[in-house]
Structure 1
Amino acid sequence: MTRETDSSYDVVVIGGGAAGLSGALMLARARRSVLVVDAGRPRNAPADGVHGLLAREGMAPGGLLERGRAEVGSYGGRVVTGEVTAVRRQDAGFLVTLADGSSVAARRLLVTAGLVDELPDVPGLRERWGGDVLHCPYCHGWEVRDRAVGVLATGPMSVHQALLLRQWSEDITYFTHTGPAPDAEQAEQLAARGIRVVPGPVTAIEPLEVIGSSSLAVRLVGGRAVGRDAVAVAPRMVARAGFLADLGLQPVDHPSGMGQHLPADTVGRTDVPGVWVAGNVTDLSAQVGTAAAQGAVAGAQINAELVAEETRDAVAKYRAQQGGSTDG
Structure 2
Amino acid sequence: MTEQPNSGYDVVVVGGGAAGLSGALMLARARRTVLVVDAGTPRNAPAEGVHGLLGRDGMPPGELLERGRAEVRHYGGQVVTGEVLAAVRDGDGFAVTPAGGRTVLARRLLVTTGLADRLPDVPGLRSRWGRDVVHCPYCHGWEVRDQAIGVLATGPMSVHQALLFRQWSDDVTYFSHTMPAPTGEDAERLAARGIRVVAGEVASLEIVEDRLVGVRLSDRTLVSREVLAVASRMEARAGFLATLGLRPVEHPSGAGEHIPADATGRTEVPGVWVAGNVTDLVAQVGTAAAAGAGAAAQINADLVAEEIREAVAAHRELTSAGSR
| TM class by smaller structure | over 0.9
1:300 aligns with 2:297: yes
Kept in 2: contact 1:153–1:234 (CA 8 A): yes
1:243 pairs with 217, 240, 243, which one?
Answer: 240
Amino acid at match of 2:161: Q
Superposition RMSD in Å: 1.4
Q: Relative to structure 1, is the Cα distance of residues 180 and 94 closer, same or farther in structure 2, using a 3 angstrom cutoff? A: farther
Q: Give the superposition deviation at 1:103.
A: 1.1
Q: Aligned partners of 1:326, 1:208: CA distance in 2, in Å?
A: 87
Q: Aligned partners of 1:36, 1:190: CA distance in 2, in Å?
A: 45
Q: Give the superposition deviation at 1:215.
A: 3.8
Structure 1 segment 208-247 matched on structure 2, within 5 A: 208=208, 214-247=211-244
Kept in 1: contact 2:21–2:68 (CA 8 A): yes
Q: Percent identity?
A: 71
Kept in 1: contact 2:149–2:225 (CA 8 A): yes
SS of match in other structure, 2:154: coil
Kept in 1: contact 2:108–2:271 (CA 8 A): yes
Q: Give the superposition deviation at 1:4.
A: 6.7
More deviation in 141-150 or 200-209? 200-209
| TM-score normalised according to structure 1 size | 0.96
Kept in 2: contact 1:2–1:102 (CA 8 A): no
**1:192 counterpart residue number:** 192
1:60 aligns with 2:60: yes
CA deviation profile, 1:136-179 (whole Å, cap 9, x unmatched) = 00000000100100000000000000000000000000000123
Kept in 2: contact 1:239–1:260 (CA 8 A): yes
Q: Aligned partners of 2:131, 2:107: CA distance in 1, in Å?
A: 41
SS of match in other structure, 1:63: helix
Q: Aligned partners of 2:146, 2:93: CA distance in 1, in Å?
A: 53
**1:122 counterpart residue number:** 122
**1:277 counterpart residue number:** 274
Q: Aligned partners of 1:324, 1:276: CA distance in 2, in Å?
A: 39
SS of match in other structure, 1:182: coil
| TM-score normalised according to structure 2 size | 0.98
CA deviation profile, 1:60-102 (whole Å, cap 9, x unmatched) = 0000000000000000000000000010000110000111142
Kept in 1: contact 2:3–2:79 (CA 8 A): no
> 5+ residue gaps in structure 2?
none
SS of match in other structure, 2:207: strand
SS of match in other structure, 1:23: helix
Q: Aligned partners of 2:130, 2:264: CA distance in 1, in Å?
A: 30
Amino acid at match of 1:48: E
CA deviation profile, 1:256-281 (whole Å, cap 9, x unmatched) = 00000000000100000000000000
**2:171 counterpart residue number:** 171
SS of match in other structure, 2:65: helix
Q: Aligned partners of 2:282, 2:5: CA distance in 1, in Å?
A: 36
Q: Aligned partners of 1:159, 1:3: CA distance in 2, in Å?
A: 47
Q: Aligned partners of 2:255, 2:211: CA distance in 1, in Å?
A: 31
**1:136 counterpart residue number:** 136
Kept in 1: contact 2:145–2:169 (CA 8 A): yes
Q: Give the superposition deviation at 1:326.
A: 2.8
> 5+ residue gaps in structure 1?
none
1:264 pairs with 252, 257, 261, which one?
Answer: 261
Q: Give the superposition deviation at 1:2.
A: 9.1
SS of match in other structure, 1:181: coil
Kept in 2: contact 1:2–1:100 (CA 8 A): no
**1:103 counterpart residue number:** 103
SS of match in other structure, 1:232: strand
Q: Relative to structure 1, is the Cα distance of residues 290 and 49 closer, same or farther in structure 2, using a 3 angstrom cutoff? A: same
Structure 1 segment 284-323 matched on structure 2, within 5 A: 284-323=281-320
